[in-house]
Amino acid sequence: MSAVDSQKYSNRAAPALVTVHALSCGHFSLPEYQFVYPISRDARRTVPSLAFLIQHYDQSTKKRTRIVFDLGLRRDIKRYAPPIQKHVETRQPMSTDPDVTKSLARGGLVPEDIDYVIYSHVHWDHIGEPRDFPTSTFVVGHGSLALLNGTSLSLRGGHSFFESDLLPEEQTIELLEPSAHVLKKHDSCRGTGDISFGGSWRTHGNLPLALDLFNDGSLLIVDAPGHLPGHINLLARTSPDHQIYMGGDACHDRRLLTGEKSIGEWNDAHGQVCCIHADRKQAEATIDRIRVLEKEGVEIIFAHDVEWENDPKNKTRFFGANQSMDNYMSLTPDQQRLKERFDTELGSTAYDESWARMLKHSPEMFAASLRLTAIPKQSSHLSPKIQSLISLAVSASSTHLHVPNIHRYTRAALSAGASRAEIVETLCLTSTLGIHASTVGVPILFEVLEERGEAIPKGMASMSPQQLALKQDFEVKRGYWNALWEEMLLIAPEFFDAYTEFSSVPWTNEGGKGVLEPKVKELIYCAFDTAATHMYKPGLKLHMRNVLNYGGTKEEIMEVLELATLLSISTLDVGLEVLDNEMGGR
């Protein structure tokens, strides 16, 4: 990356971001009646204990800060205090492999690489094994130390047993009481990049109390009362348009968010009413606030979020899911800075084997390719979903058929919210490229026949009633007519009729109009017509006109041209993989 490019990047007013990876920290079984109502008394569910690795990189100081949010289940359950061991018997079957240290190791990190461990709260299934992190600073919410020391007067619930010697005093920070020193949102300072656990709690949107850890908006500690004294959540900004809310035990079941279920209660052996939350009313208010965040587009992940864990698209979001992508320790400082820039501009989930290979072999080309790729992403005249579908069309066109990118952009489209039907329709639209064999060849055939004195009459006047009916059918199904079709209709009406049916599927299925809006269909045609592997000018001009007729803009068309230009990077995707294989064979 040149000094000029570096300066351009540093001067860009992009929001500060962090990367977030999930960490698998064991699984255990829950009796559902203690968490949701109504439910069968015998219903049980196996859930994960999730932790999270959050990494913050300060562009100005070049400092990276690593935070682990929760430590999950303890590797050796016999090391829990006896009352907790007795309670653990009710949570079988249980698995503590992998624990947090093994999950970190999968991505090349060891506990000594972790600067801070932040606990959502100090229940047994979140505390892990603090002694595994001898150099880390532990951070707990206000009131947590009173629980650990047995001095809290707050309601705890029947199974909330705590270990007084859990945390080393000299390495532990307890946050200020959330109600103290509250300032309004507009009073918040910005942009220092230094971590601070002693700052003032402030409002943030619909969140009454939040603490800006780096004073740059990238990571907030959120007061999340109700479950247990000191219960806190995190809100992370991972891209300019995406935030992740790590909800701890604010909610144990997504059906509480949808309203299908309410918080469960039960009677203990003494007839006392018990609840998994220390303060049910506050817990319900916290869930209400999280529900608002989700409606605003924030991604919500809870500590025992079995639905999130089981979603196939989240498998690659666990740290170390692909070691070559996550292992920062193997990168040079310059490569690490480029990787951080990639995460900022494209998002960490876009980083795959091809990008990792390019970063290894040519950091300079990686930087240039990243800059080229980021421009349409940042201008965003088209939504991320439509951009992914456009790129999929270029990759899947019969003149390219680049399978790695077909995988890449299918994943991206699904992650951006595309449905199966929308992806299938994109492929159906792209499959029409083959007709250009006829739209190019038929006019040449007419020229050759004319040169031989065997000219075929042209024009609408030469068409039979059957041919005119086929033309009308095309116009009804496709919404337009162009003179380039006339010669094909004249010389091969049966083939034209078959092609009309073939090409009209995306326009006539799913209730008679397809699933993508007409403008988007035309943009997809533009994408594979303009791609360097095809460059079919008559079709490109036709479909550009159609885009504008459907209300599209020149900016949207230009963005399609930019996305199609990224086909060039496929040369490196393919060539560098071959290079790796050949070098490995020598």
Please report the pLDDT score of residue 155 as a whole number. Answer: 53
DSSP string, 128-143: --GGG-TTPEEEE-TT
Please report the pLDDT score of residue 2 as a whole number. Answer: 38
Statement: residue 63 has pLDDT above 50: yes
Statement: residue 517 has pLDDT above 70: yes
User: pLDDT digit string (tens) for 169-220?
Assistant: 999 999 999 975 544 433 333 444 578 888 889 999 999 999 999 999 999 9
Statement: residue 372 has pLDDT above 70: yes
Please report the pLDDT score of residue 14 as a whole number. Answer: 64
Mean confidence (pLDDT) of the chain: 88
Nearest to 77 by CA among 31, 122, 44, 124: 124
Find all residues with CB under 8 Å of 34, minimum gap 6, and list them: 264, 266, 274, 276
| Among 13-17, 95-99, 268-272, the least confident range | 13-17
Distance CA 85, CA 77 (A): 7
Half-sphere exposure of 60 (CA within 13 A, CB side): 10
Other Cβ atoms closer than 10 A to 116: 19
Q: What percentage of the chain reaches a pLDDT higher than 90?
A: 68
Please report the pLDDT score of residue 7 as a whole number. Answer: 38
Strands 299-301 and 242-246, bridge-based pairing: parallel
**How is residue 78 written in tokens?**
């016999």
pTM: 0.60
Please report the pLDDT score of residue 153 as a whole number. Answer: 63
User: pLDDT digit string (tens) for 427-464?
Assistant: 999 999 999 999 899 999 999 999 999 998 888 888 89
Please report the pLDDT score of residue 163 as a whole number. Answer: 92
Element (H, E) at 9: helix 3-11
Distance CA 97, CA 403 (A): 35
DSSP-assigned beta bridge partners for residue 246: 234, 301
Q: What percentage of the chain reaches a pLDDT higher than 70?
A: 92
**Residue 534 contacts residue 433 (beta carbons within 8 Å):** yes
Distance CA 565, CA 532 (A): 7
**Residue 115 contacts residue 66 (beta carbons within 8 Å):** yes
Average pLDDT for 323-350? 75
Let me know the angle formed at the C-alpha of 207 by 202 and 210, rounded to the nearest 5 degrees. Answer: 35
Please report the pLDDT score of residue 322 as a whole number. Answer: 66
Q: List Cα–Cα distances, 86 to 28, 39, 64, 124, 156, in angstroms.
A: 14, 25, 41, 12, 17
User: pLDDT digit string (tens) for 109-134?
Assistant: 899 999 999 999 999 999 999 999 99
**Residue 329 contacts residue 109 (beta carbons within 8 Å):** yes
**How is residue 446 written in tokens?**
């007419």
Please report the pLDDT score of residue 326 as a whole number. Answer: 52
User: pLDDT digit string (tens) for 532-586?
Assistant: 999 999 999 999 999 999 999 999 999 999 999 999 999 999 999 899 888 865 5
Please report the pLDDT score of residue 425 as a whole number. Answer: 95
